[in-house]
Amino acid sequence: MKKQYGNSVLLDERGMTLPVWYTFDKKADDNSPAGVFADENGSGINASAHGDVTPERSAVYGGAVRLGGKNGYISLPAGAFRGLREISLEMWMKASPRSYWERGFDFGRVEDGRLNAYIFYAPAAKRVVLSKIGHFSEEIVIDVNAALPEGWSHFVFEMKDGAVFVYINGRLCGEMWSDAIAVDDYVGLNRLYFGKSQYEADPYLCAVIGEIRAHGRLLTGNEIYRKYAAGRAEMAKNEMRVFELPAPHRLTKDISLPEFLPESGARLHWSSGNKDALSDSGKIRRPAVGTGDAEVTLTAGLQGGVIKKDFSLLVAAEFTDGERVLFDSSLLALEGDLSALTHDLRLPAEGEEGSRISWRAEGAIDTLGRINRPASGTARAALTATLRSGGETAEKRFDITVLASESADGFLFVYFTGNNANEERLHYALTLDGYSFAPMNGGRHVLEQTKGTRCLRDPFVIRAGDGYYHLVATDMQSSKGWNSNRGIITWRSGDLITWTDETVIEIADKFPTTEGADRVWAPQVIFDEERGEYMLYFAVRVRRPNPYTRSMGISPDETLMWYAYTKDFKSLTCEPRLLFRPARGQGIDGDIFRRGGTYYMYYKDESTARIKLTTAASPTGPYGPEIELNVHPGVGLEGVCVYQLPGRERWILLADAYGEGHYVMAESDDMRDFSPVPDGRYAFRGFHPRHGHVVPVSARQIKALTERFGVAQ
């Protein structure tokens, strides 16, 4: 028998709170606001959305809410868990935490304006924390030995007197048995948040939450696994209904068959009904010329083949010469915005099916794809491709508008945010005046890598002579150790929005000079006009001495600035060599700026954590006496970045006060004598960057970046 108690909390005959269950499929009632969601069990305890929370529906999952990461969270009313002696909190979510202290949930008790108890889960920190006094000095920390996987994850937190348990995707990932854990210490929790911390300064969670369920008892391990497995199976079944094969209907080359469904992660099994034309692994055998296309039914199956979906495909017969040039012409495209072109074009010499391609140029472009930007306004250009195969030809014309060179109207700041793998991503911020920075994309990352360590740090962007931007970064996942990285990672972009050509350049143990290296940190680039190549420079430590380091007298404990050259940002044209060794040793995080015939290198003296300057007449040195700069004395600094304000003889120096959790700024009129900028004259509005750099951008680029990513107001 059920009966009513207190604030709409249902109790059973044992006095135990019955489960509440939010699927976000429906409003509480027809008269309630759109952001108020009903308990599916009918308790009347409604969940409420606040801030940048948007309901969404998925054919795979059903109802869900998206927490935008700016100020969005879900709350339950005070007293929702009144009377509990045990609790199991169950959530399905897709979380992308950017910061160590974002909360999956955070339950607190506030009395007379004072927080005096809390329980929270921080996914990026991989911990559950309890405090019966509302202060970190007496926290009980339960380490969770697993991060939330990408895609939908099933999370369960359980607590009773003397024990806490944490499960992720059906597996026990954290537990603690202790007499210090007492349910009575947390009676009266009255601020029940999902996605928000009890502390206003902490960031909000970026996530999609599909389900929240609370039980008034502990679930067994078997129950939890069955719930996870059943939920995953239901998602996979729903996803299979809407799943589309990522391949064209008519195949001319092998296809890559996905092993897993993208949202549910369910494993797929493939079977071809015509293995002569298409194998089970996606390899094709095209019929001979003139014999017609081969029909194939390709079947995707999951759960041991119980659930299947068929795809009807054609494997194209080998082309005649006429068919080949027409097919290749239909696929031929050029990279970039041809209506507002600002970079050279890369012109293919061969089509998809092997047609030979030659080019004719008109106006402000040549047959190698190099543009001639006008002094002002725009210039017309055109390229015509002629495709040939045998005696057959086809033509395709591209009309182009080339833009004039643009002045800098602001800066794009590229950075990462912390030492968690989810924070080691590329982030953007924008500044119009060079002093006040606002994060873009809601503070979320704009790029994550798929190669190497899958984590980037210390990003740097340069615009090359061909108009393309190149991003270089440390290829490193810090959770694996500060001496775990072996190289750098690069990308290319025509517009700072879409990045391609992801490439890992391995350096440690790839050259005789770097044999035995265990650090390759903070790469940057400058163009060497005399050599006609780009000089990559970075910090290296060679832990195991080799003949080169012995000949240079380099100690195994020294991390110093090295250099190498590249033409394509994909490979090196020479072996790395020592660039600069400070008098005290230990120089990292170099930033080289050319002014006239002088190269200014700003760097971190690792022995003192101060920023210093040295100069040379060549990018490779030799560099002269070292000057310690007046940049916030007494504060440890790294990640130095120097840039000139547009149209002014004024240079700004940024540095990461890594031990203080903020950035500092200094300014100079001669690039040598710097004065700290007072706190009130510069700002990083609502975000905490780590080791970043700036790249000048025009008004047109600012508009395009803002339209794509948005900027905090």
Is residue 650 situated within a structural domain? yes
- The confidence band for 32, taking pLDDT boundaries of 50, 70 and 90, is low
Q: How far apart are CA 545 and CA 543, in angstroms?
A: 6
Q: Of residues 511 and 711, which shows the higher confidence score?
A: 511
pLDDT in tens, 446-472: 998 999 999 999 999 999 999 999 999
Is residue 324 situated within a structural domain? no
Q: How far apart are CA 240 and CA 152, in angstroms?
A: 16
**Considering 285, 318, 351, which residue would you say is the last residue of a domain?**
318
Distance from the Cα of residue 653 to its chain's centroid: 26
Average pLDDT over residues 640-668: 94
Do 531 and 640 belong together in one domain? yes
Eight-class DSSP state of 698: -
For the chain, what is the mean pLDDT?
92
User: Which value, in Å, is the radius of gyration of the alpha carbons in the chain?
Assistant: 30
pLDDT score, position 203? 84
Is residue 393 situated within a structural domain? yes
Do 286 and 188 belong together in one domain? no
Do 79 and 228 belong together in one domain? yes
Do 611 and 537 belong together in one domain? yes
Is residue 646 situated within a structural domain? yes
pLDDT score, position 474? 97
Average pLDDT over residues 289-302: 96
Average pLDDT over residues 230-249: 93
**pLDDT surpassing 90 at residue 327:** yes
Helix (H) or strand (E) holding 166: strand 163-168
Query: Of 409, 411, 410, 446, which is closest to residue 427 (Cα–Cα)?
Result: 446
Do 370 and 414 belong together in one domain? no
Domain that holds residue 289: 245-318
pLDDT score, position 98? 63
pLDDT score, position 34? 66
Do 366 and 424 belong together in one domain? no
Phi, psi of 290 (to 5 degrees): 85, -5
Do 479 and 515 belong together in one domain? yes
Q: How far apart are CA 351 and CA 349, in angstroms?
A: 7
**What is the pTM assigned to this prediction?**
0.79
Do 601 and 466 belong together in one domain? yes
What Cα–Cα distance (Å) separates residue 470 from each residue in 74, 357, 486, 602?
Answer: 40, 27, 20, 21
pLDDT in tens, 570-605: 999 999 999 999 988 899 999 999 999 999 999 999
Is residue 588 situated within a structural domain? yes
**Considering 264, 286, 318, which residue would you say is the last residue of a domain?**
318
Average pLDDT over residues 671-698: 94
Long-range CB pairs of 403-406, under 8 A, 24+ apart, other chains included: 403/340, 403/341, 403/342, 403/373, 403/378, 403/700, 404/373, 404/374, 404/375, 404/376, 404/377, 404/378, 404/379, 405/373, 405/375, 406/342, 406/698, 406/699, 406/700, 406/701
**pLDDT surpassing 50 at residue 3:** no
> What CATH number is associated with residue 260?
2.60.40.1080
Is residue 127 situated within a structural domain? yes
For residue 594, the number of C-alpha atoms closer than 13 Å in the C-beta half-sphere is 13
Helix (H) or strand (E) holding 205: none
**Residue 622: cis peptide before it, omega within 30 degrees of 0:** yes
Coil vs helix vs strand at 73: strand
> What CATH number is associated with residue 176?
2.60.120.200
Is residue 323 situated within a structural domain? no
**Considering 208, 239, 270, which residue would you say is the last residue of a domain?**
239
Q: Is the separation of the CB atoms in 538 and 523 below 8 Å?
A: yes
Do 47 and 178 belong together in one domain? yes
pLDDT score, position 13? 32
Is residue 475 situated within a structural domain? yes
Q: By 3-state DSSP, what share of the chain in percent is helix, strand and coil, each rounded to 5?
A: 10, 45, 45
What is the number of structural domains in the chain?
4
pLDDT in tens, 138-163: 999 999 998 888 789 999 999 999 99
Q: How far apart are CA 207 and CA 517, in angstroms?
A: 39
pLDDT score, position 2? 26
Q: How far apart are CA 166 and CA 125, in angstroms?
A: 14
pLDDT in tens, 48-103: 999 989 998 888 888 999 998 878 999 998 877 777 789 999 999 998 776 778 89
**pLDDT surpassing 70 at residue 5:** no
Q: How far apart are CA 629 and CA 677, in angstroms?
A: 13
Average pLDDT over residues 674-680: 94
Coil vs helix vs strand at 480: helix
Do 224 and 310 belong together in one domain? no
> What CATH number is associated with residue 668?
2.115.10.20
Query: Of 180, 190, 310, which is closest to residue 240 (Cα–Cα)?
Result: 310
pLDDT in tens, 246-287: 999 999 999 999 999 988 888 999 999 999 999 999 999 999
Other Cβ atoms less than 10 A from the Cβ of 620: the count is 18
Query: Of 610, 591, 609, 611, which is closest to residue 601 (Cα–Cα)?
Result: 591
Do 416 and 525 belong together in one domain? yes
Average pLDDT over residues 342-354: 97
Coil vs helix vs strand at 345: coil
- Extended beta strands in 476-553, E state: 487-493, 500-506, 517-528, 533-542
Do 131 and 274 belong together in one domain? no
